[in-house]
Structures are given as C-alpha cells and as structure tokens.
Amino acid sequence: MLVPSTDVEQRTALPALSWGLIPAVLVSGSALFLYPWRIVWAGYLILAVALLLAWLFDRRQLSTGLFRDLVLIAVGMVIVSVISVKANIEWLNFFTVGIVLALAVATPYLLSRFVLKDHAIRFPWRAGKKWSKLQWSYFAFILFLGWLILPFYFISSGVYLNWPESVTSPDEIGRFFIGVNAVGTWDELFFICTVFVLYKRHFPMWQANLLQMVIFVSFLWELGYTSWGPLLTIPFALLQGFTFTITRSLTYVLIVHLLFDLVVFLVIVHARNPTMFPFFLV
C-alpha cells in the first residue's frame, strides 16, 4: 500500500548517501540533454536507465517507492521535451507551449492522486501562518536585486536577444507579460511543488534541492537564460527550494518568482524599446 506523504515523513532524517542517488542524479542530469543541449534521444535513454535502476533498487529494498516518484518526474520532463521552450510569443506557439506546460504539471499530479492514490504532489496556497516582517521585507529585497542585477545581465551580455524582437505594440507587450508570468507560475508548480517535493521524500533537503536545481536551470537555459545566466539561475533555483521548505507556501515562493519576473519583463521591453521604462542603470 502506498502511504501518503506527511509532514512527519518529510522531517524524518534521511541518509546523506544512498543507492537512490544514482538514478536520481541520472534523472536530473538527463535535463541537460532534453533542454539546453537538445540531444533528446540521449535524454530519453538516460531516463530509461535511471528508471530501470530505481525499479531494481526498490525491488531489492535498497530504496522505497523511488521508482514511483521518479516516474512522475520523468513523465513531466518528457512532456516538456516534445516542444522547444525558447521564448516565442507568436499566437500558435503561445498556446502550444501553454498547453504542453499545463500537461507537464497536470499529468504527474493526476497520476499520483488518482492512479497511485498518493498525496505527495500538493499545491499549498496557504501555509496556515502569517508571514513575518522579515519575510515581507524579502519581497522588497528581491525587487531591488532584480533592478540592480538583471539589466546588467540581459543588456551587457546581449541575452535579451533570446527574447522576442517584436515587443512594441500593446498586443505584443501584453502577450509577453502574460507569457512571462505564466511560465514563472509553471516553474513553481513543476520544479518546486512536483520535482523538489518528490525528491524530498527520498533525500535530505539539500540533496533534493540540488537535484531539482539541475532540471530548473536546464529548462531556464533553453528558455533564454544563457551566457553567464546560470550564475543567477542556480542560486535562484536553490533559494526557491529553501524558501518553500521554510514557508511551506506556494503563494510565497510564487510572489517571489513573479516579482523577479516582473523585472525581467520590464528589462527586456526596455532593451527592445530604450525609451520605455528608462529607470534602470544600464
């Protein structure tokens, strides 16, 4: 019988070294092939080997339920891999990417909830406790860091060219704004509430965080955060996992992410249209 994940289970001490790390590292590592490198067949092969190892380890009692949870992660990753997630706001791509990303979140959730009869994947909009003054001030800190760092990153590196060139008309700017926020929301639903949470059932928090970070950053690289972008996206992905562990609130990490993405939106529109939003240092 599958036992639903509970807070008690999440706090149970887990070994720093376990056999399960081998297939988990392979699953996360496959993201490099599925997204930025786009050697998709190699990514699928690595996923297959990882799932076979997880199945063998479960069977030999070297792990418990690892195969089940890695399958859920792999399903979402494979669904995302069927399209390119490079920034493109043309109407067809706008809806295609939206549908595929929605399926990548919904499919693991529905499989877990209704096929496996498990409750590991949840979307905790309310944490049940008030945020502290420090937590509220973190929002302002994120906005300040974004304003300070992101213009220098996007403009000096030329990375803004990875985003749509045509963001001048109200329709295009509106579509770009919706797309940025939709993808940012999806990031938290998939990488944190799905991948990170499933990894945490088997590994200490810091390991689960590193594992989800590899997939998160690989996806962001294909999305357009290239050049020295990983110097920003790696700590951001790790901080989101850490913040979610502390707050237990999807709402909180989502606000953090969308504040960051608000600055991303403003910077890219400014880079394409220098007379718009002229309040950056670069």
Name the amino acid, one letter, at 281.
L
Contacts of 159 (CB under 8 A, 6+ apart): 153, 224, 225, 226, 227, 229
pTM above 0.85, yes or no: yes
3-state helix, strand, coil in the chain (%, to 5): 70, 0, 30
Token reading at 151: 């213009």
Amino acid at 165: E
Note the pLDDT tens digit of each residue in 44-77: 999 999 999 999 999 999 999 999 999 999 999 9
pLDDT bracket for residue 164 (50, 70, 90) = confident
Spatial separation of the C-alpha atoms in residues 47 and 36, rounded to whole Å: 16
If you ran DSSP here, which 8-state letter would residue 2 be given? Answer: P
Tens digits of residue pLDDT in 70-118: 999 999 999 999 999 888 888 888 899 999 999 999 999 999 999 999 9
Closest Cα to residue 266, out of 186, 170, 177, 136? Answer: 177
Instruction: Report the C-alpha gap between 207 and 123 in whole angstroms.
Output: 21
Q: How confident is the model at residue 12 (pLDDT cuts 50, 70, 90)?
A: low
What percent of the chain has a predicted confidence (pLDDT) above 90?
81
Token code pair at residue 135: 């937590």
Nearest CA to 215 among 179, 190, 189? 190
